[in-house]
Structure 1
Amino acid sequence: MDIGLKILLIICASCFECRAEDTVTQSTGDVIAFKEESVTLGCTYSTTNTAPDLFWYIQYPNGFPKHMLTRSTYGNKNTVTEFKERFDAHVDKTSSSVPLTIQKVQLSDSAVYYCALRPTVMMKYSPPLQKH
């Protein structure tokens, strides 16, 4: 087996808490896949919210977490353009999970992947100050 053909996806296997009663758990750990394979990264959640929004983020080496996609329990989808072709997730209300599937894995997919219940990166606009 040629080690050069393997692709390592590092998955953060920790729990992110939004509120005391909201938790997200990623149990996948490190994932090794061959180029062009498909992989699925696990994420389960627990919340008192009856219609939670779930988010996947990617963090490349030496980079910041970047929002990839959002999924709602009502089926609403929002995916950042650069991830639309090969990345997808769906909310399974029965198992309280939102697994991320990556089609045709590439070496450039090597990163840390995070699952969250609510946005963890917030943008806020502040108008410029004017001197009078």
Structure 2
Amino acid sequence: HCREVWSKEIRAQDTVTQSTGDVIGYEGGSVTLSCTFTTTSSTNPYLFWYIQRPNDPPKYMLRRDKYSNDTVQEYKKRFNTKLNTSSVPLTIEDVQLCDSAVYYCALKPTKHLLIWNFTRHLCTRFHSPLSLNVCK
């Protein structure tokens, strides 16, 4: 789906790496999704997180860069990340069943050309019986 939504150009010197496999979360607990990056084309890269729930396109969650940040209101309470020198891990607090999704980490160096690196991340799965609820 990402190729249909965004134009994509990958440069060898700009990379985003996400851990493979599933991350297991439990209702009420917390999970951290890893994302590391390298860039030689910018001293102030923009890092983004997107969420893709079943049958939906990826949805913007938040952005971090050296000087500012932005988080969509619905994700401010339980989703948090901090931009480090080469990583931008996403932590989900008070995990809920509706957090089950594929999460994408994206990199855009601060150039006029948008450079997106999308890598399939993970689907949070739950092993305890949970009732279906709606994320607020």
TM-score (norm 2): 0.70
- Partners of 1:33 and 1:71 lie apart in 2 by 24
Q: Does 1:50 align with 2:43?
A: yes
Moved over 3 A (4+): none
Q: How does 1:46-85 map to 2 (within 5 A)?
A: 46-48=38-40, 49-74=42-67, 76-85=68-77
Q: Report 1:1-132 matches (<5 A).
A: 18-48=10-40, 49-74=42-67, 76-93=68-85, 96-118=86-108, 120=116
Q: Whole-Å Cα distance in 1 between the matches of residues 51 and 10 of structure 2?
A: 18
Name the CA distance, whole Å, in 2 between partners of 1:51 and 1:77.
12
SS of residue in 1 equivalent to 2:25: strand
Given that residues 18 and 117 in structure 1 are in contact (C-alpha distance below 8 angstroms), is that contact kept between their aligned partners in structure 2? no
Distance in 2 (alpha carbons) for counterparts of 1:98 and 1:28: 16
Q: Percent identity?
A: 62
Structure-2 separation of matches of 1:29 and 1:52: 26
Describe the shift of the 1:80–1:18 C-alpha distance in structure 2 as closer, same or farther (beyond 3 A): farther
| Conserved 8 A contact 1:87-1:103 | yes
CA 1:86/1:28 → structure 2, altered by over 3 Å: closer, same or farther? farther
Q: Which runs of 5+ in 1 are unaligned?
A: 1-15, 121-132
The unaligned stretches of length 5 or more in structure 2 are 1-7, 109-113, 117-136
CA distance in 2, matches of 1:87, 1:17: 28
TM-score in terms of structure 1 length? 0.72
Q: Which has the higher strand share?
A: 1
